[in-house]
Amino acid sequence: MLSALAGMALGLSLIVAVGAQNIFVLRQGLRREHVGLVAGICAVSDLVLISAGVGGLGSLIQSAPHVIEVARWVGAVVVLVYGGLAARRAWKGQHVVMGRHSMTTRTVGTAVATTLALTWLNPHVYLDTVVLVGGLAATHGDNRWWFGLGACIASTAWFVALGYGARYLAPLLERPGAWRVLDSVVAVTMLVVAASLILNG
């Protein structure tokens, strides 16, 4: 149980941060569009990656740094593209006309593809879940899977809360211009994430 709680604490500390993936989940929650699917993909992805790390894949990745290097540059490009799209929405004011009902509907395929891209093409995800969680889980010996379970529970709880809790922010975004502000924040955040990927290699 102590190992599970330790894993949960670590999982929350890594996941609860402003990043491209979290912002996308938040945005889908505000739109109330494919929320369960998007949150589910994020949670299942973390479960797979954490399990791989606890199972020993973290050590393998550390011995092949070129894998992280490739993922770093691909991830930077993907984040820049989505940041650019957010900047364009903010500039054109596509969401100025009151609320979520005025927004263009995102298809299921687009939502799934975006979620997968922001999750699996982000090298930070591998470093956090596979390498860091996997490495710390190893210090718990026979209880390492309990540690991993705690991290998985934290991840699932966070994405569900972020996606479904976002709707309570909707009244704040019913005003003209509110979505332009949100998209501006998204664009700047993604630019910072991309810059960190490029500069911290």
Give the 3-state secondary structure of residue 177.
coil
> What pLDDT, on a 0 to 100 scale, did the predictor assign at position 16?
61
Which pLDDT tens digit goes with each residue over 96-142? 443 444 455 678 999 999 999 988 987 778 877 887 787 777 777 78
Model confidence at 160, pLDDT cuts 50, 70, 90, reads very high
Does residue 49 have a pLDDT over 50? yes
Which among 119, 166, 125 has a CA at the least distance from the CA of 11? 125
**Residue at token pair 């609860």:** 16
Q: Which whole-number Å values give the CA distances from 166 to 31, 115, 186, in the listed order?
A: 9, 17, 15
**What pLDDT score was predicted for residue 43?**
94
**Mean pLDDT throughout 33-58?**
90
pLDDT tops 60 at residue 47: yes
pLDDT in tens, 173-199: 666 577 777 778 778 877 876 777 677
Q: Which of 55-59, 127-131, 144-148, 153-157 has the lowest mean pLDDT?
A: 55-59
Structure tokens at 99: 């609320």
Q: What's the CA angle centered on 50, arms 44 and 56, to 5 degrees?
A: 140
- Least Cα distance to 114 among 200, 6, 51, 23 occurs for 23
Sequence-distant (6+) residues with CB within 8 A of 145 are 54, 137
Total residue length of the chain: 201
**Residue 9: count of CB within 10 angstroms of its CB:** 13
**In this structure, what token pair is assigned to residue 102?**
């005025």
Helix axes 20-31, 178-199, angle to 10 degrees: 160
Share of the chain above pLDDT 90, in %: 20
**Dihedral angle sign, alpha carbons of residues 78, 83, 84, 88:** positive
**Predicted pLDDT at 164:** 94
Range in 19-33, 63-77, 126-140, 147-161 the model is least confident about: 63-77
Burial (CB < 10 A; 0-12, 13-18, 19+), residue 121, is middle
pLDDT at 126: 80
38: helix, strand or coil: helix
